[in-house]
Amino acid sequence: MRIIPAIDIIEGKCVRLTKGDYNKKKVYNENPVEVAKAFEGAGIEYLHLVDLDGAKSSKIVNWKVLENITLSTSLKVDFGGGIKSDESIRLAFECGASQVTGGSIAVKDEKLFTSWIVKYGTEKIILGADVLNEKIAINGWQDNSGINLFEYIANYKNKGIEYIICTDISKDGVLKGSSIGLYRKLIQQFPEIKLIASGGVTDISELNELESIGMNGVIIGKAIYENKITLTQLEAYVS
């Protein structure tokens, strides 16, 4: 199972939200490259980078942060937030993203998102499934689409998608554990997908449980920044 620390960006700074609420923002570091280098120094290979300004906008806003991180580290970065056009996905890859995550666009423009799967390949495109009560949320989690999570995944699985990040919004940033029950149901229904857990991971012991049910990766955010999970613990886990 891949360990994937998260960096969320607002105005070029490393922040965390609580349950996706932009009014509950905490700045942890004004230099995201420093944070990325610390992850790399702990032996971590992957990074989940989210442009929260972009998620609320119609385009990528913090592309320079992505470029600076990929130029300054060897981390394999999956990037999301503001990927809503051919121009924005091209910019993300030009700035060094290894993979791109599409959430809102996969709901709003199925034809466009499917064309990216075909053009860039299933290894490069991640389906973002941000969910509250098993319904897909969009636009930086501000709107409920009303679409059922399982139907959403089944649709894109038929279009060839392999990688899915599933974020339970009710768990995100509150440090009360991840949605193991939901992930277990998803893996039982879609055993072929490479499912990445996101939201709520609080304790290093959860990683073994997530790995045991067959997760491909786990994104860890606030637990790192609040020292619930240390880089030393993660270094031991990945080694």
Q: Which of 8, 51, 78, 172 is catalytic?
A: 8
53 is catalytic: no
Q: Which of 51, 130, 168, 172 is catalytic?
A: 130
Q: At 187, list the tokens.
A: 């893996």
* Residue 128 neighbours by CB distance under 10 Å: 28
Closest CA to 97 of 78, 122, 72: 78
Closest CA to 164 of 150, 176, 178: 150
143 is catalytic: no
Following DSSP, what letter does each residue of the chain receive, concatenated?
Answer: -EEEEEEEEETTEEEEEETTEEEEEEEEES-HHHHHHHHHHTT--EEEEEEHHHHHSSS-S-HHHHHHHHHH---EEEEESS--SHHHHHHHHHTT-SEEEESHHHHH-HHHHHHHHHHH-TTTEEEEEEEETTEEEETTTTEEEEEEHHHHHHHHHTTT--EEEEEETTTTTS-S---HHHHHHHHHH-TTSEEEEES---STHHHHHHHHTT-SEEEE-HHHHTTSS-HHHHHHHH-
Q: Which residues are catalytic?
A: 8, 130
